[in-house]
Structure 1
Amino acid sequence: MSQTTQTDLIGFADVAERLPKFINKIPNLLSGLKQAYIRTPNSPAGLGLAFERATKNNPYGDALLFEEQRYSYKELNNWANQIAHFYLSIGIKKGDTVTVMVENRPELLATIIAFAKLGVTSALVNTSQTGKVLTHSINLVKPVAIVVGEECRVAVDEIRQDLAIQPENFHWFADQETQKGAGKAPKGYINLAEVLEQFPKFNVPTTHSVKGKDGLFYIYTSGTTGLPKAVIFSNSRWTLAYGTYGHVLNLNEDDVMYCTLPLYHATGMVVCWCGAIAGSSAFAIRRKYSTSAFWTDVQKFNASAIGYVGELCRYLMDAPASENDHKHRVTKMIGNGMRPNIWGKFKERFGIQEILELYASSEGNVGFSNIFNFDNTVGFSPTPYAIVQFDKEKNEAVRDNKGFCTKVQKGEVGLLIGKITKRSPFDGYTDPEKNKSVIMNDVFKKGDSYFITGDLVRDIGFRHAQFVDRLGDTFRWKGENVSTTEVENICSEYPKITEAVVYGVEIPNTNGRAGMAAITLHDGQELTEQDLSQMVSDFKKNLPAYAVPVFLRIQEVVETTGTFKYQKNKLKEQAFDPAKTSDRLLVLLPNANAYCDVTSEIYANIEAYQYRF
């Protein structure tokens, strides 16, 4: 969000006007807030406990829907118990970490519940990772075992010799409905579905000994070193999300939450799923997002709520109008990244009444949720935070002559920081050095500490904010965080490229920022037609699809500051406009297999939204 109007500003009268519609949510919300905030690090807490509670509340109601598969709460709980009993039998215990690399399907969720009941931390690896990045992600958290879906096995096999996991702890699920057929495991893997048959279905005794401070997930975020960082997501943190976002959604046993987001990300795994668990509702998932199948799936599963990121909403808006647009019972949605320019249009076209936009990060301690259902806001925050003046040129918060920060005025933009307290702790990364870099001390008085979100937001009043931009060395594209350094490293491996500077640029009517690389070539080198296709092939081989640079800029020399930092601000400003530079500009158009030059005509077409990036 980069623009705001006076109508976006919120005051007490605006909130009071919405209270009548909000009142019916209050009992459920208070119940959630009680669970979220009346807890200590040593209180029993977390996903395992909440799932057993939902099973007790609605044992025969649908818990999970996938393709033609249907699991009641009791069936899914029984399956998870068998997995948990197996892992207990081989000595896996609370405090251990197990890597889980399975795409969105029931086997993933049954495994996650099982580990949650044991107090085992599930390392949720991005299923599109391969090679060095995958090796790094797995070894980083020192897992004692790995659970691999057949759909991800080739990627794991390629790096298996580099993993510090005992050979007998490579476990496998066939890429099929394993509750009906275990399949045949490849050499070197234990077939989980096969061994589970001999284990009991009753609840394991460990669930109530899992405490808030115990790890639940590792969720990976883009690292400034070019490799992913692992963020510990504790059971206490999950309970906070469950008590707030989960109960704000206000689902019940008749509801179905449809989620196509990757479940290795917190929006899908935490926010969407905990909304279903909080209401003892059904969670309908799809392996990968599909625009053409979206509303058909919604009808098939009789969904009443959907999870989203901004890019998903744009894809749905771009699709041709259809009778399916209103042939459903979806009235509410939860997620993040809804753009102001489609917010109202989306509600009108698809009959949505509530957009529960939220703000949170895998590693952060501050969250917002649009509980009052205003437009164009990430919502209200009950957690302690501040929005402080920020100097973009110096890339740091502004300090006064006493060394303290200053909060922005209502309507102004600043850096969002979250106060670190016992109730709003910073769980941190696996690397203590990274923790130091994201904590700001002595902000408003000596001795206080705040988490630096790295996000610029606008204060629009009554503890509401609008998201504006992301700072630093990551940007979001296709709903994913892209590490500029990771892309720079891959680009620089191309034989003719000597250096690459990667940054995000805005394309009109899209969400986030598309990747652009300013590259310099080795002396005397030029890019041929073969290079333009070969680069695409190489980049796609070594990077997830969303991280492949959309634009290239060929420079003779990379501009740096006196401290040898890249001059990215100027590059971002000029972006891919051929009128602003004499450098050669290239673009990878949708469905193309090679870069082509950005002509004035192509530029005009991009600006006019003629291409669907």
Structure 2
Amino acid sequence: WIHIKQSLPDPLCVPFPHMYLISVFLASILIIPFGLKTLFPYVWMDILYFGDLLRILVKFVSRRRRRPSFFVLDRFLEQTAAHPDKPFILFENENYSYTDTDKWSNKTANALQSHPGYKPGDTVALFMGNEPAFLFTWLALAKLGSPVALLNHNIRTKSLLHCFNCCKANVLIAASELKEAVEDVLPSLIEKGVTILLMTKHCDTPGIESFSDKLDKASDTPLPRFLRSHIAYKSPAVYIYTSGTTGLPKAAVVNQNRLLTALAALSSNGVTSSDVIYLNLPLYHTAGFIIGFIGSIEAGSTIILKRKFSASQFWDDCRKYNVTVVQYIGEVMRYLCSTPKTENDKDHKVRLAIGNGVRAEIWREFVNRFGDIQIREFYASTEGNVGFVNYAGKIGAIGRVHFFHQKLFPFTLIKYDTERDEPIRDANGLCVESPKGDTGLLVSKITDIAPFVGYAQNEDQTERKRLRNVLKKGDLYFNSGDLMRIDKDNFIYFQDRVGDTFRWKGENVATNEVSDILTISDCLKEANVYGVQVPGHEGRIGMAAVTVKEGAQFDGSRIYHHVVNYLPSYARPRFIRIQNAVEVTGTFKQMKVKLVEESFDPGRIQDPLYILDDKEKSYIPLRSQVYSSIISGNIKL
């Protein structure tokens, strides 16, 4: 120490200007980070996020350069070799390690390969609920080089046939409990020469073959790689169907390249091999399959697989299996917040919830009730070419945008005419960008990095999603169909689906906003808001299909004062329809089409109907004579 001290210059001997510069330099090192934090509060988060993006990009590029080609299946095989005995899938009383999963997929692949109705590379439709066989079969088909159509197990007859035909599948593999649904469309499938395999050991229906008995006898030896040598990055990997809230479902094509990028879905959000993932969303949907299953393959995590979401079992399962990461979509969090409170609400190991569609007030309620859980809200669509992640944790936002994101995935918000249901264009025929803070339609430029593949066997719907001449003549953008808003801090917020916004009294009404207001009232549990047409009136007037909280009664006066306090006159629902349950799709999206068609006609609706009455300062029952007066124009709304 004495030697070091002697070698240092005496501070008193250092010239004053030098001392001043040294002091300024040292002070700057300390002050600059605090200054940046004050002036740009999210700068460090932005830097860390960009670092994550860079790491993901480098890993993706290195995998793309590997020979032979590297796909999701190869990552699963790497994980199996790295920790063969680690539990991969826990389902009810069953436990499958990575090796068990690999062997079961081998048995499935070998049983399929020996079947005369199938050859490697054939497209196969999977009609099955959440169970290990779903995952085994997908991995088996990946080993055989076959694209897989993930059919919604809730669809029937016309929709089922439509979805099956979209992907031009040669084989249908169905769960045993879906036998009747298959039998309903059997003549059409037989006519097309489709091979139908049922996950049962015996089947006496002509045209349907049992498959479980073949699985039991099949070998679990690995499949030769040449069976999938024809696969390229642009080859379809899976077909995932849209929910079909406005018509028959569309089959979005997810190619091998897109699936490879999807490997980062969980690991990019800090999920590691030590995490336990609670997968209770449908495997036929993007969230369950790509984020829950494919994401877990990359991270090397353990999956707790559930047949379906259950609010009453959710936290008990999390405690039982030491779950650390959960998924949510749509109304899942609200369902959880609606369960009766218990003393052990915060007694669990869940640290991260990843998903989309959580409303700001539910976000706050969820965290306050269930503990310090990081909410990682994101925005993406199955077929879309742009996405956002709310890595900063700003309540209510779906993500944050910045320079690097804009360069990689060029997008913009454009002005949209909700009444004409089309973008607003200027005198040159180009779209008009929305100013910051204003709501606009999200459109994303179609590029090599951000492609839009489209829908299988549906060029018309594919073309509808393409928007041309957006910012300059000849450019091409993907039309998300979603209305967004970007605030002064560059956080982006989902406002509504284009079809879910209506115009009344010259004003745009966002159904999500009205729904949020209704459900924070004392007596309403759920609210599905939509616009209905009224003869003699421009636009659409607001209506809500609602459910009442258990033990409560609909109080027209209190609801009236609630909406008057929170909503401008044009946004207040003029009609309220009381339902026992709000109809939703398999991914908890509210169904509106049928409700819009039935409108507010007491002659068509058996449910209790109410109309807002400003004189009574209440919602009062809607009588037939009042309805007739509205339709005839004697009563103006």
Q: TM-score range by the shorter chain?
A: 0.7 to 0.9
- Give the deviation of 1:193 after TM superposition: 2.5
Superposed CA deviations along residues 508-541 of structure 1, whole A, max 9, x for unmatched, are 23899637796xxxxxxxxxxxxxxxxxxxxxxx
The alignment partner of 1:275 has SS state of helix
CA distance in 2 between counterparts of 1:273 and 1:198 reads 25
Return closer, same or farther for 1:574/1:129 CA change in 2, 3 Å cut-off.
closer
- Give the distance between the partners of 1:93 and 1:390, measured in 2 at CA: 49
| From 459, 464, 467, the counterpart of 2:486 | 459
Matches within 5 A, 1:6-17: 13-17=40-44
Give the equivalent residue in structure 2 for 1:193.
Answer: 212
Q: How many pairs are equivalent? A: 513
Change in Cα spacing, 1:136 to 1:591, as seen in structure 2 (3 Å) is closer
Distance 1:473 1:153, change over 3 A: farther
- Listed as ranges, the matches of 1:172-321 within 5 Å are 172-174=198-200, 183-188=201-206, 189-196=208-215, 197-205=217-225, 206=227, 210-223=231-244, 226-243=247-264, 245-321=265-341
Q: CA deviation at 1:39?
A: 6.8
| Post-superposition offset of 1:83 | 1.6
1:52 corresponds to 2:72: no
Aligned counterparts of 1:560 and 1:84: Cα–Cα separation in 2: 63
- 8 Å contact kept, 1:257–1:272: yes
Q: How far 1:449 sits from its partner (Å)? A: 0.6
1:595 is aligned to 2:611: no
Is this contact kept in 2: 1:390–1:396, CA < 8 A?
yes
Letter in 1 for 2:519: N
Please point out which of 367, 387, 391 is paired with 1:371.
391
Q: State whether residues 574 and 611 of structure 2, in contact with CA within 8 Å, keep that contact through their aligned partners in structure 1.
A: no
Contact residue 456 and residue 468 of structure 1 kept, 8 A: yes
Distance 2:224 2:205 in 1: 30
Q: How does 1:493-532 map to 2 (within 5 A)?
A: 506=515, 508-509=518-519, 514=528
Correspondence for 2:124 among 98, 101, 104: 98
CA drift at 1:261:
0.9
1:136 alignment counterpart: 162
- Where does residue 494 of structure 1 map in the other structure? none
- 1:432 partnered with 2:459: yes
Instruction: Report the more deviating stretch, 302-311 or 209-218.
Output: 209-218
Counterpart secondary structure, 1:333: strand
| Residue-by-residue CA offset, 1:421-465 (whole Å, 9 max, x unaligned) | 011110101211211111111211222110100000111356641
Give the deviation of 1:222 after TM superposition.
4.3
Distance of 1:275 and 1:113 partners within structure 2:
14
User: Does the 8 Å CA contact 2:253/2:383 hold for their aligned counterparts?
Assistant: yes
**Rounded Cα–Cα distance in structure 1 between residues aligned with 2:112 and 2:39:** 53
Change (3 A) 1:585 1:412: closer
TM (normalized to structure 2)? 0.72
Shift of 1:252: 2.1
Residues 73 and 184 (structure 1 numbering): CA distance in 2 closer, same or farther, change over 3 Å? same
Letter in 2 for 1:221: T
CA distance in 2, matches of 1:367, 1:44: 26
Q: Is the 1:410–1:459 contact (alpha carbons within 8 Å) kept by the matching residues of 2? A: yes
Q: Distance in 2 between matches of 1:172 and 1:140?
A: 21
Q: Describe the shift of the 1:339–1:53 C-alpha distance in structure 2 as closer, same or farther (beyond 3 A).
A: same
1:137·1:230 contact (CA, 8 Å) conserved in 2? yes
Cα distance change of structure 1 residues 454 and 153 upon mapping to structure 2, 3 Å threshold: same
CA apart distance, 1:31:
4.3
Q: Determine the C-alpha separation between the residues in 2 that align with 1:173 and 1:52.
A: 25
- Aligned residue for 1:526? none
Structure 1: which amino acid aligns with 2:307? R
Alpha-carbon distance in structure 1 between the residues aligned to 2:351 and 2:259: 25
Once the two structures are TM-superposed, the CA of residue 133 in structure 1 deviates from its matched residue by 1.6
Structure with more relative contact order (C-alpha pairs < 8 Å, separation 6 or more) = 1
Letter matched to residue 589 of structure 1: N
Asked if structure 1 preserves the Cα contact closer than 8 Å seen for 2:515 and 2:528, the reply is: yes
Task: Read off the aligned partner of 2:383 and give its amino acid letter.
Answer: E
Mapped contact 1:260–1:286 kept (Cα < 8 A): yes
State the secondary structure of the residue aligned to 2:331: helix
Q: How does 1:98-117 map to 2 (within 5 A)?
A: 98-117=124-143
User: For residues 525-604 of structure 1, what are the structure 2 equivalents within 5 Å?
Assistant: 559=535, 569-572=539-542, 586-590=577-581, 595-599=606-610
Q: Which residue is 1:330 aligned to?
A: 350
**Cα distance in 1 between the residues matched to 2:83 and 2:203:** 35
Partner of 1:159: 185
**Given that residues 58 and 253 in structure 1 are in contact (C-alpha distance below 8 angstroms), is that contact kept between their aligned partners in structure 2?**
no
Contact 1:458 1:467 survives alignment (8 Å): yes
Q: Return the offset for 1:117.
A: 2.6
Check the 8 A contact 1:299/1:327 in 2, yes or no.
Answer: yes
Matches within 5 A, 1:14-33: 14-18=41-45, 22=48, 30-33=54-57
C-alpha distance in 1 between matches for 2:526 and 2:284: 20
Task: State, as a whole percentage, how many aligned pairs show the same letter.
Answer: 31
Greater displacement, 148-157 / 578-587:
578-587
Are 2:374 and 1:361 aligned? no
Range that drifts further, 78-87 or 425-434:
78-87
Q: Output the TM-score relative to the length of structure 1.
A: 0.75
Cα distance between partner residues in 1 of 2:489 and 2:475:
24
Give the Cα separation in 2 of the matches to 1:515 and 1:164.
43
Show CA shifts across 1:346-381 (max 9, x none). 123212432111111111111112233332221146
Q: Which amino acid aligns with 2:125?
A: T
Partner of residue 86 from structure 1, selected from 87, 111, 115: 111
Distance in 1 of aligned mates of 2:620 and 2:133: 44
Give CA-to-partner distance per residue, 1:268-324, whole Å, 9 cap, x none.
Answer: 111122331121001111111111100111112211000101311001011111234
Q: What is the Cα deviation at residue 11 of structure 1? A: 10
Is the alpha carbon distance of 1:268 and 1:258 closer, same or farther for their aligned partners in structure 2, counting shifts above 3 Å? same
Superimposed CA distance per residue, residues 548-573 of structure 1 (whole angstroms, 9 cap, x where no aligned partner): xxxxxxx9xx7599xxxxx7x41446
Q: Distance in 2 between matches of 1:137 and 1:366?
A: 25
Distance (whole Å) between structure 2 residues aligned to residue 152 and residue 474 of structure 1: 37
Question: What residue number does 1:416 align with?
Answer: 442
Distance 1:582 1:605, change over 3 A: closer
d(CA) in 1 for partners of 2:196 and 2:606?
41
SS at match of 2:185: helix
C-alpha separation in 1, matches of 2:160 and 2:391: 38
CA contact (8 A) 1:85 1:204 kept: no
One-letter code aligned to 2:416:
F
Kindly indicate whether the alpha-carbon contact (under 8 Å) linking 1:35 and 1:239 is maintained by their aligned counterparts in 2.
no
5+ residue gaps, structure 1, are: 1-9, 175-182, 476-502, 519-554, 562-566, 607-613
Q: Does 1:341 align with 2:364?
A: no
CA contact (8 A) 2:109 2:141 kept: yes
In structure 2, relative to structure 1, the CA distance for the partners of 1:53 and 1:126 (3 Å cut) is same
One-letter amino acid of the counterpart of residue 515, structure 2: E
324 and 190 in structure 1: CA distance in 2 versus 1, 3 angstrom threshold:
farther
Whether the aligned pair in 1 keeps the contact of 2:123 and 2:170 (CA below 8 Å) is yes
Change (3 A) 1:560 1:195: farther
* Matching residue's letter, 1:398: I
SS at match of 1:342: helix
Distance in structure 1 (CA, Å) of the matches to 2:415 and 2:54: 34
Q: How many Å separate the matches in 2 of 1:26 and 1:204?
A: 38
